[in-house]
Amino acid sequence: MPSHRRKIVAGNWKMNLDRSRVTELAEAVVGRSQEAGGVELVLCPPGVYLGTVGAALKIVDRTSPSGVALGGQNMHDKASGAFTGEVAPPMLVDLGCRYVILGHSERRSLFGETDAIVNAKTKAALAAGLTPIVCVGESLEEREGGRTQAVVTAQVRGSLAGLSPSDLERIVVAYEPVWAIGTGKVATPAQAQEVHALIRGLLASLASPEVAGRVRIQYGGSVKPDNAADLAAQPDIDGALVGGASLKADDFLGIAAAFR
C-alpha cells in the first residue's frame, strides 16, 4: 500500500559550483519542477549562495512559487554571538530556508560532530522554525562488523534525545550509510529498507507508532536515476538525500520522478 507521507528529495550540493552555476542549476530545477509530480524538492547550496539560490527560486517568506524549498547544509546551535565563521539558525530562516541538513557524515567525520552536537543543533533548528534533516548511518567497518543496528540506534537516540513527540513529527531523518556516500556503491533496496524500518521503530519507541508513521525517512548514498525506483518501491523509504547526482538537473529530477 503506498504511504501517505509526502515524498521528499533534497539536493546536497556540498562545497561545489560557483555563483553563475548555482543560478543556472536552480533555474533549471524550478523550470522543470513539475516533472517531480507531488514530490517535495529541496535545494541545499553552499551557504554563501543561499541568497542567490533563494532569488532564483523567487522565495518570499520562505515560500517559493514553484514549491521548491531552500535548505542549509549546516548551522550553529546558537542564535548569535562570537562564533567566527558560523551561521545561526535565524540567519538561515532570514534567507528563506525551510530545511537544514544536520549531522551529515562529513560533518561527523571531518568536523568532529558528535550525537550531542547534532542533538543541540536539532533542537535549535526546531526552535527557529526550521525542519532539520538529521543524518545517521554506519561506516563500512561497522557494517562488516555486524554493528549497523547498534550504531544507527545510538545515533538516532543520541541525535534526537529529549525531543517531544510533536518535535519528532517535524523532523526528517536521512539514513546515509557512509560507505555508500560518493562511492557509487548504493545500498541494496533490502539493506536500506531494513535500516529504515529500524529507524521507524525507534521513532515509535521515542514517540508513538502514529508519530513514527508520519515522519519521512530519506535514503542517501549514491542515489542515481537508474537505482532510485527500486529504493522508492520500499515501504519505509520516503525520498532521497542526493549528493553528486543533485549537481545535474536531469539526474536530480530523474530521481525525484522515481518517487512520484
Binding residues for ligand PEP (CB under 6 A): 12, 176, 181-182, 220-223, 241-245
Residue 64 or 246: the one with the smaller Cβ distance to ligand PEP is 246
Min dist CB 81 to ligand PEP, Å, is 29
Min dist CB 12 to ligand PEP, Å, is 5
Task: Spot the catalytic one: 106, 142, 176, 196.
Answer: 176
Task: Spot the catalytic one: 104, 138, 142, 196.
Answer: 104
| Known catalytic residue at 210 | no
Min dist CB 246 to ligand PEP, Å, is 7
Task: Round to whole Å and give the CA distance between 253 and 143.
Answer: 31
| Known catalytic residue at 104 | yes
Task: Round to whole Å and give the CA distance between 37 and 231.
Answer: 17
Min dist CB 173 to ligand PEP, Å, is 13
The secondary structure of 12-73 as a DSSP string is: E-TT---HHHHHHHHHHHHHTGGGGTT-EEEEE--GGGHHHHHHHTT-BTTB-TT--EEEES
Residues 6 or more apart whose Cβ sits within 8 Å of residue 242: 9, 10, 11, 12, 220, 223, 252, 255
Strand boundaries in the chain, DSSP class E: 8-12, 40-44, 69-72, 97-102, 131-136, 172-175, 216-220, 239-242
Residue with the CB atom nearest ligand PEP in the bound state: 243
Residue 244 or 254: the one with the smaller Cβ distance to ligand PEP is 244
Residue 207 or 254: the one with the smaller Cβ distance to ligand PEP is 254
Residue 207 or 251: the one with the smaller Cβ distance to ligand PEP is 251
Q: Which residues are catalytic?
A: 104, 176
